[in-house]
Amino acid sequence: MTAVSADGLDAAAGGTDRGDAGVDGTGREKAGTDGTGRGEAETDGAGGGESYRLHVDGFLRTVSGAWIGDSLLTVLRDVLGVTAVKDACEQGRCGACSVLLDGRLAASCTVLAADADGSRVVTVAGLGGSGLTRAVRAMFLAEGAVQCGFCTPGFVVAVTDLLTRHPDADEEEIREALAGNICRCTGYGRIVAAVRAVQAERGILPPGDTPTPGDAPSRPDGG
């Protein structure tokens, strides 16, 4: 857990770049300031007035005027502009919105943002560019674990969490740990391969258990 939170904190610099990186060019909002223009302005009638603070990817962000019932996912995306966190089901069933909340893996759509007052939230954008996360990202690319990529931010967070807690997880444990993350494109084969490749690169893959090569076995012709 300490490794993860350290990772999250030293990601601060990356966090600034990334916090708004998902925001479209023309509408670029300034990340790193407390709240955005929209966030400050948005009072949602139903329960406004509350104010709380979240440490998001190493930055202290103040949330005010959000509805008291807003999920952490909604506050991250719609109030703070952190679109690196994805919304796909808002029901805790797909893992697209995965973050580390005080070092623990959480589906941000199932957490009340106001309940997270004072917590450290680390998104994929704040995981940092070195060490384990860097290896996870690199192997997701090398092994073809990314197609549309909408599940990828959640998977990168979940895989980083898994390999932090359990670096030598076997295939069954990997599948169990990632069963909360839906990918509709890849069929998961390349995702398992990517996790195995990270373990291999870090010299912790159990012997004899090598990742499946990306290249398909093929015959030169139909014979």
Partner 1 sequence: MGGEVVSGGIGRSVRRPDGPDKVSGAFPYAGDLRVPGMLQARTLRSPHPRARIGRIDTAAARRLPGVAAVVTAADVPGVATYGLIVADQPVFAATEVRYAGEPVAAVAAVDAATARRALAAIEVDYEPLRPSTDPERVLAADAEPLHPAGNLFREIDIRHGEPGVDGPVVVEDHYVVGMQDQAFLAPEAALVSPAADGGVDLRVATQWLHSDREQLAACLGIPENLVRLTLAGVGGAFGGREDVTVQIHGALLARAAGAPVRIAYDRVESFLGHPHRHPARMWFRHTATADGELVSVQARLVMDGGAYASSSPAVLANAVTHAAGPYRVPHARLHGVVVRTNNPPCGAMRGFGVPQVTIGHEAQMDRLADALGLDPVELRARNAVRPGDVLPTGQVLGAPLPARELIQLVAARPLPPPPAADVTGLARPGGLPAAAEPGRVRRGVGYALAYKNLLFSEGMDDSSAARVRLDLTDDGTPRVRVHSACAEVGQGFVTIAGQIARTELGVEQVDLAPADTAVGSAGSTSASRQTWMSGGAVRGACVAVADRLLARVARAAGLPAEVVEAPRRTLRIAAGEIVGVEAGLRVRLADALAEGPIEADYTFHHRRTTALGADGQGDPHVAFAGAAHRAVVDVDIDLGLVRVVSMALAQDCGTVLNPLSLRGQVEGGTAQGLGLALMEELVTVDGVVTNPNFHDYLLPTIADVPDLDFVAVTEPQPDAPYGVKGVGEAPTCTAAPAIVAAIRAAVGRDLRRVPVRPQDLVDLPTRADVHTAGDASTA
| Cβ within 8 Å of residue 27, ≥6 positions away | none
> How buried is 29 (Cβ within 10 angstroms: 0-12 exposed, 13-18 middle, 19+ buried)?
middle
Question: Which partner, ligand FES, partner 1, none, binds residue 156 by CB below 5 to 8 Å per kind?
Answer: partner 1
Looking at beta carbons only, is 6 or 89 nearer to partner 1?
89
The secondary structure element, H or E, covering residue 99 is strand 98-101
In this structure, what DSSP letter does residue 143 have? T
Is the separation of the CB atoms in 46 and 67 below 8 Å? yes
CB of 71 to partner 1, least distance (A): 12
Q: Choose which of 54, 101, 109, 156 interacts with ligand FES (CB under 6 A).
A: 109
Please give the single-letter amino acid code of residue 114.
A
- Under the binding rule (CB under 8 A), the answer on residue 58 touching partner 1 is no
**According to the binding rule CB under 6 A, does residue 189 interact with ligand FES?**
no
Query: Is 179 an interacting residue with respect to ligand FES (CB under 6 A)?
Result: no
CB under 6 A: which stretch of 62-70, 115-123, 148-156, 213-221 binds ligand FES?
Answer: 148-156
Q: What interhelical angle do 131-142 and 152-165 show, nearest 10?
A: 130
**What is the bridge-based pairing of β-strands 104-107 and 51-56?**
unpaired
Which residues lie below 8 Å from residue 220, measured CB to CB, with a gap of 6+? none
As a whole number of angstroms, the distance between CA 159 and CA 169 comes to 11
Nearer to ligand FES, 47 or 92 (CB): 92
- If one asks whether residue 53 binds partner 1 (CB under 8 A), the answer comes out as no
Dist. CA 155–CA 22, nearest whole Å: 17
Q: Kindly state the smallest distance separating residue 137's Cβ from ligand FES, in Å.
A: 14
**107 counts as binding ligand FES under rule CB under 6 A:** yes
Of 3-11, 90-98, 159-167, 211-219, the window that binds ligand FES (rule: CB under 6 A) is 90-98
Per-residue binding letters, 30-49, with ligand FES (x by CB under 6 A) = --------------------
Residue type, 205: L
Find which of ligand FES, partner 1, none residue 109 binds, CB within 5 to 8 Å per kind. Answer: ligand FES
Contact set with ligand FES (CB under 6 A): 73, 87-90, 92-97, 107, 109, 146-151, 183-186
